[in-house]
Amino acid sequence: MPYQKNNKNKGGFILFWKILSNFSWFISLISLASGIIIIIIQVFLRYVFGFSLPWAEELARYCMIYIGMIGSALTLRESSHPSIDFIKKVLTDRGNYILDLICQIATLFFAGVIIWGGYSIFMFEGFSSRTPALRILWAFPYFSISLAGVLLFLFTVEKFINMLKVKSKDK
């Protein structure tokens, strides 16, 4: 769901988070719509005219990759990932806060690994060859890894800032 007005982040970065969230949703929706349209056209051409576009499946695959990668970051921002919360039920408020901090730090580390790995693949493999059907540089599909890592990192920083703001208000 795109950025909502009732977000508790009231700092100077609210416009930044709004733009970042809306940009992510926009890219995801464009990728989803493009993938669906391409597949519908491909199926229609194949079964009605007996003709297939050689590049359609490849482009639809890249659209789905972008949906998955950006969608993971949006799911993190919305706290919609499945979680096991039986530990949180037995911890005190302070224990939950510490556990959340540890999780946010681990997520930042994980996002850093994704950024580094995605950047490595993007730079060292992305410009050396082209995709089989579309003949575009592999950099386009590989960019989704780094983009997802950056979005994961930034959305985790947003959560981290909000956690610290809530903690400072409690004191």
Residue 165 falls inside a structural domain: yes
**Has residue 154 been placed in a domain?**
yes
DSSP assignment of 102-114 equals HHHHHHHHHHHHH
- Rounded CA-CA distance 67/80 in Å is 16
Spatial distance between the Cα atoms of 71 and 119, rounded to a whole number of angstroms: 19
Report yes or no on 86 lying in a domain. no
Question: What pLDDT does residue 8 have?
Answer: 53
pTM above 0.75, yes or no: yes
82 token code pair: 């499945």
In a domain? residue 71 = yes
Residue 107 sits in which domain range?
14-81+91-170
Q: Quote the strand ranges of 120-163, DSSP E.
A: none
Is the residue at 6 inside a domain? Answer: no
- pLDDT tens track, the chain, 171 positions: 454 445 554 556 788 989 999 999 999 999 999 999 999 999 999 999 999 999 999 999 999 999 999 999 999 999 888 887 888 889 999 999 999 999 999 999 999 999 999 999 999 999 999 999 999 999 999 999 999 999 999 999 999 988 888 777 776
Phi, psi values for residue 14, rounded to 5°: -60, -40
pLDDT in tens, 121-162: 999 999 999 999 999 999 999 999 999 999 999 999 999 988
**Other residues' Cβ atoms within 10 Å of the Cβ of residue 60:** 19
pLDDT of residue 5: 47
In the chain, how many domains are there? 1
135: left (phi over 0), alpha (psi -120 to 50) or beta: left
Asked if residue 19 is part of any domain, the answer here is yes
Q: 57 lies in a domain?
A: yes
